Chain A
């Protein structure tokens, strides 16, 4: 059974870059796409972006200018970088797996709480 384990800095200052990594254990890496999703405290879910094993990406237009998602297929890992964080970016950030040609999310990481404070 696939497991996603994520890590990264949880406390940032305004204007810094958010950086998270997600590792995939126990499943195929090439047969899926790999996503980042966030959830502000007490609110709903927002899809951030996705990447395929070949490095092809799709980003949410609302974040595209600040967003970079990258992949290291040999390590079964993918990463998120969100630059110039502001007070609008604090959230629980999740990595998640999506099946090819289907943009729903069948497996999720445990989440990383990101706080922005000066």
Chain B
């Protein structure tokens, strides 16, 4: 089973600033990596798939990059609604696995 490690566990950023979240896979997952956003009391929401493709309706301030074992989610110019928990997920190897999440909080 592939282990997905996200860092940092908590990230404090001011509104309007840029946030960079990292995700590392224990072995190569090619570009089969997705990112999700989860707000309190809500189901996760798909943001990015294929490491860099935004899902339908996702604002352009969200961007994903990386391949193989190292991936990054960047949120430029943070808005108040962006403060949430973010999860990465690999779907290259079965069973698909998730990271433990990064909590993005207001500084």
B45 touches A47 (CB 8 A): no
Q: Name the one of A44, A102, A104, A111 contacting B43, with C-beta atoms under 8 angstroms.
A: A111
- The count of residues in chain B whose C-beta lies closer than 8 Å to any C-beta of chain A is 20
Q: Name the one of B45, B46, B55, B98 contacting A45, with C-beta atoms under 8 angstroms.
A: B98
- For the side of the interface on A, what is the size category? 20 to 34
A108 contacts chain B at the CB level, 8 A cutoff: yes
A46 contacts chain B at the CB level, 8 A cutoff: yes
Query: B1 to nearest A CB, angstroms?
Result: 8
B99 touches A44 (CB 8 A): yes
A113-B94 Cα distance, complex, nearest whole Å: 26
Q: Name the one of A58, A96, A104, A110 contacting B91, with C-beta atoms under 8 angstroms.
A: A104
A94 contacts chain B at the CB level, 8 A cutoff: yes
Interface residue SS majority, chain A? loop
Name B89's closest neighbour in chain A (CB-CB). A104
Name A44's closest neighbour in chain B (CB-CB). B100
A61-B44 Cα distance, complex, nearest whole Å: 23
Task: Mark out the residues of chain A between 43 and 75 whose CB falls within 8 Å of any chain B CB in the assembled complex.
Answer: 43-47, 58, 60-61
B87 touches A61 (CB 8 A): no
Residues in chain A near residue B20, CB distance under 8 A: none
Q: Which A residues form the contact surface with B (CB < 8 A)?
A: 43-47, 58, 60-61, 94, 96, 102-111
Q: Which B residues form the contact surface with A (CB < 8 A)?
A: 32, 34, 36, 43-46, 49, 55, 87, 89, 91, 94-101
Pull 5 A–B residue pairs with CB atoms less than 8 Å apart, ordered by A. A44-B99, A47-B97, A103-B91, A103-B96, A105-B34
